[in-house]
Amino acid sequence: MKKHTAHFLYAAASTLFFSAQNLQAAPTLTEGLTTGSSIKVNIRTRYEDVSWDGLTDADALTVRARLSYQSGAWNGFAITAEMDNVTAIDHKVDYATWPADPLVIKGKKAAPIFDPEGTDFNQAVISYTTFNNAIKYGRQRIILDNARFIGNVGWRQNEQTYDGLSFTNKSIRYTNIFVAHITNVNRIFGDENVLQGDYKQDSNLINVSYTGFEAGKLTGYAYLADNIADNYLKKLAGGNANAISNDTYGVRWSSTANPAFMYTLEYAKQSNGDKNPIEYDADYKFVEVSTTLGRFVPALGYEELGSDKGKKGFITPFATLHAFNGWADRFLATPINGLKDMYVNLGATFSGFALLASYHDYSSDVKSIDYGTEWNFSVTKKFGAVTYMAKYAAFDNDKLLATKSDTSKIWLQADWNF
């Protein structure tokens, strides 16, 4: 499918949407938007400590204050607005806030913690909804499937959201059709970061799922990402500002029939698309099986982000990356030789405490490089309106990979919702 085909599908979906019958009209605009409206406040306080061989150790105590407003509906129209403020408690940012941050502390580059200070509009959306259709225009949160390709990076204090027009249709029984045209990705590094804050886009997202099978859910998708870089950004990026542009087509199957044996299978094919300066083709493969044994939920998984003979690895630039390939975040960018991740998870619940332990074994897709191993542990407990969490990650580098160094991270977090 070419880019013009995606535009055609998107236009057709929009036409279908606007031909739908309006919902019953509210008496007045003011009554419609205020009746059923809600205001929510979230306060998330987090301490993060990073020890990274070769870099100066870093820690951060930050607070993320979020104010969200959801209006009621008037003739199917509604408004969503959300604002975030991230503040370092001591008002001193002595840690790197993006991957290439040149900050030097005590003669060495500072370890990264991707929580810059700042205030951003997270969402500003006008939506129109009928019984089977929804259309949204503006800055919006988009999470597709397990967020492996399109996500909100909700783990970080400053969330990732998308500017554009999205359409959801459920007119066909058991079928959910999502189509979006994205003009900008508001990334976690903040608006003040010239290179990493925003990614201007001319991208199309298509995701179609079907739940009519008794055994599970089938999803097919096409993510056609065109990153637009102006001359300034292209110059600073060494001419490779379009290196995240790609065309990705995939299919995903998730079982739902038997809680005692759950499994997920996924395959995707990626190429360079129209603008990526590197011509490549790479595969994505994912298999996970899990079961429930009383209080315990063990899982075994394999994820492969392939490589085209070492030219370039399969990329997922808009994913919620922290949820994949270990919490130490050492593989936020796929190595050019690809990445294989064999992992084991064990979850358990005792007296309201949710426990999770994970072990990862990393290697390359080509050249048989041993990337190392990682342990992850977390415990979460909710008391009233507050959810407390402690997490730990330890990445152990293999000597064959000089670019990856031993890393450990600790998080302590309290999340209030009002």
Burial of 9 (0-12, 13-18, 19+ CB in 10 A): middle
Q: Facing residues of 67 across strands?
A: 41, 83
> Amino acid identity, residue 63?
V
**Percent of residues, the chain, with pLDDT higher than 90:** 72
Quick one: tokens of 359?
């072990």
- Nearest-angstrom CA–CA distance, 10 and 249: 16
- Nearest-angstrom CA–CA distance, 130 and 116: 39
Give me the mean pLDDT over the 346-369 stretch.
96
Q: Facing residues of 108 across strands?
A: 105
Quick one: tokens of 271?
């190429």
SS3 323: helix
Name which of 269, 222, 228, 230 is nearest 245 in CA terms. 228
Q: How many CB atoms lie within 10 A of CB 403?
A: 8
List the beta strands (DSSP E) in 195-245.
198-210, 216-225, 227-228
Name which of 280, 405, 304, 302 is nearest 364 in CA terms. 304
Residues 310 and 337: beta-carbon distance below 8 Å = yes
Give me the mean pLDDT over the 262-269 stretch.
97
Domain extent at residue 386: 3-417
pLDDT at position 191, please?
75
Name which of 333, 409, 321, 390 is nearest 55 in CA terms. 409
How much is the mean pLDDT over the chain? 89
Number of domain units in the chain: 1
Residues 221 and 208: beta-carbon distance below 8 Å = yes
Quick one: tokens of 107?
């003669």
- By residue count, the chain amounts to 418
H helix or E strand, kind and range, residue 30? helix 29-34
Q: Which of 59-68, 85-94, 167-176, 338-347 has the lowest mean pLDDT?
A: 85-94
Residue 197 binned pLDDT confidence (cut-offs 50, 70, 90): confident
pLDDT at position 27, please?
63
Q: Facing residues of 169 across strands?
A: 133, 177
> Amino acid identity, residue 167?
F
Q: Calculate the alpha carbon distances from 71 to 22, 30, 31, 38, 127 in Å.
A: 18, 10, 10, 6, 10
pLDDT at position 20, please?
43
Q: Which of 219-223, 331-335, 375-379 has the lowest mean pLDDT?
A: 331-335
pLDDT higher than 70, residue 180: yes
CATH of residue 50's domain is: 2.40.160.10
Give me the mean pLDDT over the 270-284 stretch.
90
Q: How many CB atoms lie within 10 A of CB 350?
A: 10
Segment 106-151, tens digit of pLDDT:
788 899 999 999 999 999 999 999 989 999 999 999 999 999 999 9
Q: What is the DSSP string of 81-144?
A: EEEEEEEETTS---SB-STT---EETTEEBPB-----EEEEEEEEEEEE-SSEEEEEEEE----
pLDDT higher than 60, residue 300: yes
Paired sense of beta strands 58-70 and 281-290, if any: unpaired
pLDDT at position 15, please?
47
Listed ranges 231-240, 337-346, 363-372; the one with the highest mean pLDDT: 337-346
Q: State the residue for tokens 């074994």.
A: 361
Q: Which of 161-175, 232-246, 315-329, 393-407 has the lowest mean pLDDT?
A: 232-246
The DSSP output letter for 6 is: H
Paired sense of beta strands 296-305 and 38-52, if any: unpaired
**Percent of residues, the chain, with pLDDT higher than 70:** 88
pLDDT higher than 50, residue 105: yes
Q: Quickly count helices (H) and strands (E) in the chain.
A: 3, 21
Residue 190 binned pLDDT confidence (cut-offs 50, 70, 90): confident
pLDDT at position 21, please?
42
Paired sense of beta strands 198-210 and 175-186, if any: antiparallel
Residue 326 binned pLDDT confidence (cut-offs 50, 70, 90): very high
pLDDT at position 229, please?
66
Segment 220-230, tens digit of pLDDT:
999 999 988 65
pLDDT at position 96, please?
87
